[in-house]
Structure 1
Amino acid sequence: MIKPLAAILLLLSTSAFAAPTPAPAALAPLLASIQQRLAVADQVALSKWDSGKAVEDRPREHDVIVGATIMANNFKVPAELVEPFFSAQIEANKLVQYARLAEWHLQGKAPDSPRPDLAGEIRPKLDELQKALLKELADFAPYRQQALCPVWLAAANRQATQDPLRYLALTRATAPLCGAKA
């Protein structure tokens, strides 16, 4: 009886059954900035509700990606990573905006909350977040090829929120972070 128990204990103590390697420290600040950017989506949606403007703004989206691509070299982020990453940020942000606008249309009104100016307040905040995201993306880049990268992201995204919309948006925003060589 003791020998089978010892064999089981030996098996359980091997690296095959050990807890996975924890996510690198560089992931937490990157996810925090991505979440901050997603939080701004509610303010953008309020602005679009009030102005009647469309969520889709291709010229602005293009400008964001071009601006990030130009700044990428300063942060030592490979240019080929910038476009997919910032496209994902934009798409995730629009996902939140569309969902919020749909909710408000069903309710017949938007929330009574302060309305920051899109051009004067919201976009400068997004521009500052862009710099933080570039720095943090550079810090995380060495871990992108790790086999556990998708596991780290899935766990971090699940831990970040219980809100299904935020989880979906966060999953979309982090999609380009693992696997692709840059």
Structure 2
Amino acid sequence: MFRIILIFAAMLLSSNSFAASTAQELFSTINLRLSYMEDVALYKSNNNQAIEDKERELIVINNASLSAEKQGLNKESVIAFFRAQISAAKAIQYRYRADLLSKPTDKEPRNLDTVIRPALIKLGKDINIELTQYLRNGGVFSQQEFNVFERTLNSRYLTRADKEMLFNALIEIRLQ
């Protein structure tokens, strides 16, 4: 009986360590969230909408910080990170939209309300979950992780400065 309990405990411990997020997984989720921004820009361009929407930004930040708090993250530190993500997202949109002036496209963007926003909301929650797992398992961000972060974020419209801004906000996130 003791042996069965010991085996069961070992299985639980090993499955928990496999479920823990790595920095690479977190960076990939951040990259995936930002990968939607060209579609956002194209949708807004096609529908004569401004890139900047302060009301929507407040909703995103509020929802993201509440989700983070539920996961056990410090709300204020996550607010700064999501503001940085919004800044990077707007940078991608502005730069892509500028390119559309000289290189128009016939591409149809995914629908902002029915496809993009639900995906962004899910990815925002996934980022909070992965951040929490990473930090709870002793994860620490360092220069080595920045190098991986920089390579993982692959939008052609993100500059090194954009990536540094995001990473600097990321390293400030704390658990409650």
TM-score range, shorter chain: 0.7 to 0.9
Further displaced range: 113-122 or 40-49: 113-122
Q: Choose which of 44, 48, 60 in structure 1 pairs with 2:44.
A: 48
1:66 maps to 2:62: yes
Q: Choose which of 60, 79, 85 in structure 2 pairs with 1:83.
A: 79
**Rg larger for:** 1
Provide the C-alpha distance between the structure 2 equivalents of 1:161 and 1:57, rounded to a whole number of angstroms.
24
Q: Choose which of 121, 144, 147 in structure 2 pairs with 1:155.
A: 147
Query: TM-score, normalising length from structure 2?
Result: 0.76
C-alpha spacing 1:33/1:181, structure 2 compared with 1 (3 Å): closer
Question: Which sections of structure 1, spanning at least 5 residues, go unmatched?
Answer: 1-23
Question: Which sections of structure 2, spanning at least 5 residues, go unmatched?
Answer: 1-19
Residue identity opposite 2:117 in structure 1: R
> What is the aligned partner in structure 1 of residue 123 from structure 2?
129
Residue identity opposite 2:169 in structure 1: P
> What is the aligned partner in structure 1 of residue 168 from structure 2?
175
How many pairs are equivalent?
154
Query: TM-score, normalising length from structure 1?
Result: 0.74
User: Residue 37 of structure 2 contacts residue 89 of structure 2 at CA under 8 Å; is this kept in 1?
Assistant: yes
Q: Which runs of 4 or more aligned residues in structure 1 lie more than 4 Å from their structure 2 counterparts after TM superposition? A: 161-164, 179-182
> What is the aligned partner in structure 1 of residue 29 from structure 2?
33
CA displacement, residues 70-101 of structure 1 (integer Å, 9 cap, x when unaligned):
22222111112210111111111111001000
CA RMSD of aligned residues (A): 2.3
> What is the aligned partner in structure 1 of residue 4 from structure 2?
none
C-alpha spacing 1:166/1:72, structure 2 compared with 1 (3 Å): same
Provide the C-alpha distance between the structure 2 equivalents of 1:133 and 1:113, rounded to a whole number of angstroms.
29
The one of the two structures with greater contact order (alpha-carbon pairs below 8 A, sep at least 6) is 2
Deviation at 1:46, TM superposition (A): 0.7
